[in-house]
Amino acid sequence: MEFRNFTYLLLMLATIAVPLALSFEKEVRFYTKVKFLFPAILFSGAIFILWDLRFEELGIWSFNPRYITGIYILNLPVEEWLFFFVIPYTSVFVYEVLNLKLAKFEKPNLFLAVSLVLLAGFAIVTYTARQHLYTFFNFFLLTIYFGYTIFRNRFKPHYTKFYLTWLILLIPFLIVNGLLTALPVVEYMDEHTLGIRIFTIPLEDFFYFFLLLLMNLTIYEYMKKQRLFSFPKSPF
């Protein structure tokens, strides 16, 4: 095994290193909220892993053996499993920091309007890109889940921080996913995408991340409100 075989693994470890270290910072105290995040990671991870397995089986995307350790679980590299823990953990950490630092900055009505426009756009892409499997499935699932989120109307108070989190994380996303697609660690079958790339990243990946973030945050906020993991205070 050569050093380059640790490329994907090291990218994941580098991505989570700072958020993990700062989770114990006194002001943020993110470690106290991780119990609400784990159900979100498990639920979203199950969906994305099944998606991953099927697309890898169909050859829509594949993993370059030169940049992974060669350890597989259910035909997926262990690094890919780690991805669905690292990205949600890092994303929700940033979201909570924004809630702390920008507590008074809220534009729910503005971002609701943005969401409705995006939803219409996602639906149009879903219909017009039916022949491209990655594009179609990505935007179809996004349209369904995003539409449910909007019209259920319980996530509206969190739209502002959701969009800010997505926009801020596009910077590290461009770096990490840029490396994954430039080397490439992950290779795509072009006939199943729109063929539009930003640098070396397929356009679909930006909205794949949008869906992953949305799914984790909606479940995370739901779990916080349910207080399923809270214990009654001692009367003493």
Q: Where are the domains of the chain?
A: 3-226
Handedness of CA 167, 138, 56, 220 (dihedral sign): positive
pLDDT digits (tens, 9 = 90+) for 30-82: 999 999 999 999 999 999 999 999 999 999 999 999 999 999 999 999 999 99
Q: Is residue 200 helix, strand or coil?
A: coil
Predicted model pTM:
0.93
Measuring CA to CA, which residue among 53, 54, 21, 40 is closest to residue 87?
A: 40
pLDDT digits (tens, 9 = 90+) for 115-172: 999 999 999 999 999 999 999 999 999 999 999 999 998 999 999 999 999 999 999 9
C-alpha separations of 66 from 12, 13, 41, 93, 174 in Å: 16, 18, 28, 31, 21
* DSSP conformational letter for 234: P
The answer to whether the beta carbons of residues 170 and 157 sit under 8 Å apart is: no
d(CA 39, CA 33): 12
